[in-house]
Amino acid sequence: MSAFDDISAALTPPMVIVTTRFGDEVDGCLVGFTTQCSIDPQRYLVCLSVTNRTYELAQHASTLVVHMLHDTPSDHALASLFGEHTARDTDKLARCDWTPGPDGVPVLEGCDWFAGPVVHRCAAGDHVAYVIDVADGDAPRADEPWLLLDAVEDLDAGNPP
């Protein structure tokens, strides 16, 4: 193993679900590669796998919604739904409660979330990095522990690498 492999294996990032909309199509996926990337203006970076249907919509979408997941059975179930299933086989959004949010992008019920327009896209290997300009959100559960990568390592990816 390389030094990078050793270090990255020790990291336990919070897991999020990213949703988007293009035209009449909506989708979302479980994401582990995210980070705040600017303080002023507030910007957030999300990396979507190029094998994912959400990526295909996000390539043309104007807005992304980032849902922060907490270490609860209901949020773990959402992680399973959005991480183990692909929109090519399953209408994930038909299996959970949501409402239209900014630009009609799904906001998952019960999740802390923030959203914003996509201001930059950049190829990043087998992912594409999207920078959003954070403009909206709600976080009534922000004091609860986050759902971390090590809590979902048992999931079988719906879109394997």
Measured distance CA(135)–CA(20) in Å, rounded: 15
With respect to CATH, is domain 14-151 assigned 2.30.110.10?
Answer: yes
**pLDDT(160) > 80:** no
Per-residue DSSP letter, 15:
P
pLDDT in tens, 95-112: 999 999 999 999 999 999
What gap in Å lies between CA 56 and CA 51, rounded to an integer? 8
> Where do the structural domains in the chain lie, given as residue ranges?
14-151
Q: What residues contact 102, with CB distance under 8 A and at least 6 apart? A: 63, 65, 115, 116, 135, 136
Instruction: Compute the average pLDDT of residues 40-58.
Output: 96
Dist. CA 148–CA 25, nearest whole Å: 29
Mean pLDDT of the chain: 93
CB atoms within 10 A of CB 141: 15
